[in-house]
Amino acid sequence: MSTPAAALPHHEHRGSGFFDALAPGGKRVLFILALLATLFLFAFPAFWLILTSLRPAWGVFYVHRGTDFTLSNFSTVLEEEIVVRAFINSFVIATVATALSIVVTVTSGYMLSRFKGRVASTWFGTIYVFRTVPYISWVLPLYFVTQWLGIFDTYAGLLLPHIAVHICFFSWIMKGFFDSIDPSMEYAALIDGCTRWGAFIRVALPSAIPGIAALSILCWLYTWNEFLFALILTSHNTPMITVTMAQFVTELGTEWNLMSATAVMAMGPALIITIFGQKYVIRGLRV
Amino acid sequence: MLLLIAPAASVLIMFQIVPIVIGANASFRHWPLYDPSGEWLGLEHYVRVLTDPVFLGVVLPNTLLLMVSSVLISLILGLALAHLLNRDFLGQRIVQTVILLPLMIAPVIAATMMRWVFNDQFGIVSVVWEAMGFAPQAWLASRWPAFSIIVFTDVWIWTPWFTIILLAGLKSLPKEPYEAAAIDAATRWRMFTHLTLPMLRPVIAVCVVIRSIDAFRTFDQVWVISQGGPARQTEVFSVYAYVEAFHNLNFGRGSAAAIVGAIIIMVLGIVLYRLLDRYMDVSR
């Protein structure tokens, strides 16, 4: 653009902002300082927990002093039967709940995206409203429902409510995935003699796979991390890792080295997923 | 077509809608946890909850304060961070990894970390605090310090979420308005208030509504950090309902509190959405 300088009457104000007043080098330093502060703020608590987990029992009260490190906290914790069972239970429930939630919501999301009419709009309204109901309002009575069904404190008793937790939100997200896929391919498949079901399985579903993969990873982690449902719906038979940990914190409040070791192991999946599955996580979060 | 939603709908009905109905029913009945006899009491539980000084004077203000402060602080920090990261620089991946971490870690673990960092004898914050010459402080033994730690933990967990979503929003904004503003010699602050904010309006509105609804039902962090203590001073609504039902074994009272909370957040959600939509419309 060949705007004459005279057309920019406020030109002299350009340098009046705080950032512009700094020398180019100063701006850079400021940027780096801000970055470092951010890194420190978000990494420090986790770093400190890992450090604590590596300290021997007598060193834990002065984590910032001394250089004695040990892995014995981890082995001590893993000798506790309940911790090992809690890890296994959490793993099984997170995995199965993810698989089932995805299967159940992918069809519901597809329906919301492709079909119009009374049923679709009623269903959409239902999941929209029930998404806002606070967990506590339905997990309290679920305690009785699972007992009446005889599935309290079993895998099924935690799995089914966990699927219910995900239905509203995931149906909504899945609808978004299918909305962004052009339906004309499916119509072409229908004309070529594919059934409606075949068009969904063979044409629409493969295009939605990247989004579904991202959602699965997040779903697995949500279930692994979930606390309130596990707290109310399980007892001694099906300990879950978050509940076991919270009990450590409130009951054995002094053995910080063992507690940290448990917490570090419990955040293992989160670390692995954040480092190796970052692309999927970010894609999943943006939807 | 019905077949596609049948599995989802049946699980939803069985494990969400039926429980809500049972809870609503229980909230009108005498229903101790150990003896679901169910004598009809009418609105007594609601009257008791709504006249309970703990619920009105501590729990509700705490819940709303936690919601407002957590959402507001994380939104502002998230906006700032998104701006900071909206450029190419060395080590971007490392920063992104570190920022994602709080979001991926279980709230229970995050709360455990904070409890340890703020431990009144051996926590690193206390060590630094005393090294700086301040009097020793029992962080979790009085209301406001304990509550601030809960808010801090919530902000720590949720700022990354705002950052990532707003960063994606920033990256998708068109460049032309900024070029035009640069030609008109607008300052960075003016560009931010007159271009970035209005263009990010829909994203911010959705983020704030979703986060507010979720922040209202916060349980994990509060339970692990303070268990609502000292002396019920940091209880929030989810903790109140849980304690009524499972510690005081008064399931009817707990259900009534849970339903009162659910109604408040539904009304609040709608109002918030309308408000945000209108207010941000004006600022455009």
Cα A1 off chain centre by: 48
Give A164: exposed, middle or buried? Use CB within 10 Å, 0-12, 13-18, 19+. Answer: buried
Q: What mean pLDDT is predicted for residues B103-110? A: 91
Complex ipTM tops 0.85: yes
Which residue of chain B comes nearest to A144, CA vs CA? B19
Q: Of B3, B11, B188, which has the smallest distance from its Cβ to A164's Cβ?
A: B11
Q: Of A13, A141, A242, which has the smallest distance from its Cβ to B22's Cβ?
A: A141
Tokens of B86: 């909206």
Q: What mean pLDDT is predicted for residues A239-246? A: 90
What whole-number distance in Å separates Cα of residue B228 and Cα of residue B241? 12
- Inter-chain residue contact A42 with B223, CB threshold 8 Å: no
Which of A26-35, A186-195, B239-248 tops mean pLDDT? B239-248
Whether residue B233 lies within 8 A of chain A, CB to CB, comes out as no
Q: Is the Cα torsion angle A59, A63, A64, A70 positive or negative in sign?
A: positive
Between B277 and A231, the more confident residue is A231
Q: What is the pLDDT of residue A2?
A: 40
Digit-coded pLDDT (tens) for B63-84: 999 999 999 999 999 999 998 8
Whether residue A118 lies within 8 A of chain B, CB to CB, comes out as no
Whether residue B78 lies within 8 A of chain A, CB to CB, comes out as no
Digit-coded pLDDT (tens) for A26-46: 888 888 898 899 899 999 999
What whole-number distance in Å separates Cα of residue B230 and Cα of residue B254? 21
Please count the CA atoms within 13 angstroms of the CA of A3 that sit on its side-chain side: 13
Predicted confidence band at B120 (pLDDT cuts at 50, 70, 90)? confident
Q: Is the model's pLDDT at A110 over the cut of 60? A: yes
Predicted confidence band at B36 (pLDDT cuts at 50, 70, 90)? confident
Which of A88-92, B193-197, B210-214 tops mean pLDDT? A88-92
What whole-number distance in Å separates Cα of residue A23 and Cα of residue B156? 32
Q: What mean pLDDT is predicted for residues B232-258? A: 92
Predicted confidence band at B212 (pLDDT cuts at 50, 70, 90)? very high
Q: What is the pLDDT of residue B41?
A: 85
Q: Is the model's pLDDT at A12 over the cut of 70? A: no
Residues in chain B: 284
Q: What is the pLDDT of residue A72?
A: 87
Q: Which residues of A138-152 are buried (b: 16+ CB within 10 A; e: fewer)?
A: bbbbbbbbbeeeebb
Whether residue A138 lies within 8 A of chain B, CB to CB, comes out as yes
Q: Is the model's pLDDT at B188 over the cut of 90? A: no
**Which residues is B30 bridged to in the sheet?**
B39
A residues 7-36 closer than 8 Å to B (CB):
8, 10-11, 13-14, 16-17, 19-20, 31, 34-35
What whole-number distance in Å separates Cα of residue B8 and Cα of residue A282? 26
Cα B151 off chain centre by: 9
Residue B184's φ and ψ, nearest 5 degrees, are: -80, 10
Digit-coded pLDDT (tens) for A125-148: 888 888 888 999 989 999 988 988
Q: What is the pLDDT of residue B80?
A: 92
What whole-number distance in Å separates Cα of residue B204 and Cα of residue B106? 25
Q: Is the model's pLDDT at A214 over the cut of 60? A: yes
Q: Is the model's pLDDT at A10 over the cut of 50? A: no
Lowest mean pLDDT among A55-59, A187-191, B205-209, B241-245: A55-59
Angle between helices A24-53 and B60-85 (to 10 degrees): 130
Q: How many CB atoms lie within 10 A of CB B124?
A: 18
Q: Is the model's pLDDT at B149 over the cut of 50? A: yes
Percent of chain A residues topping a pLDDT of 90: 31
Whether residue A68 lies within 8 A of chain B, CB to CB, comes out as no
Locate all alpha helices (DSSP H) within chain A, ordered by sequence. Answer: 18-21, 24-53, 72-79, 81-114, 118-130, 135-148, 155-179, 184-191, 196-198, 205-225, 228-233, 241-251, 256-266, 268-276, 278-286
B residues 182-211 closer than 8 Å to A (CB):
183-185, 187-189
Residue B32's φ and ψ, nearest 5 degrees, are: -70, 150
Q: Is the model's pLDDT at A7 over the cut of 80? A: no
Q: What is the pLDDT of residue B237?
A: 92
Predicted confidence band at A5 (pLDDT cuts at 50, 70, 90)? very low
What whole-number distance in Å separates Cα of residue B217 and Cα of residue B75? 18
B185: left (phi over 0), alpha (psi -120 to 50) or beta: left
Q: Is the model's pLDDT at A14 over the cut of 50? A: no
What whole-number distance in Å separates Cα of residue A109 and Cα of residue A167? 10
Q: What is the pLDDT of residue A163?
A: 93
Predicted confidence band at A3 (pLDDT cuts at 50, 70, 90)? very low
What whole-number distance in Å separates Cα of residue A39 and Cα of residue B92? 11
What whole-number distance in Å separates Cα of residue B109 and Cα of residue B159? 17
Q: What is the pLDDT of residue A229?
A: 93
Whether residue B83 lies within 8 A of chain A, CB to CB, comes out as no
Indicate whether this model's pTM tops 0.90: no
> From the candidates A114, A126, A133, which should be mutated to test the interface with B, based on the most B CB atoms within 10 A?
A133
Q: Is the model's pLDDT at A1 over the cut of 60? A: no
Cα B9 off chain centre by: 28
Q: How far is B157 from chain A (nearest CA, A)?
A: 9
CA dihedral A206, A208, A211, A212 (to 10 degrees): -70
What whole-number distance in Å separates Cα of residue A76 and Cα of residue A28? 47
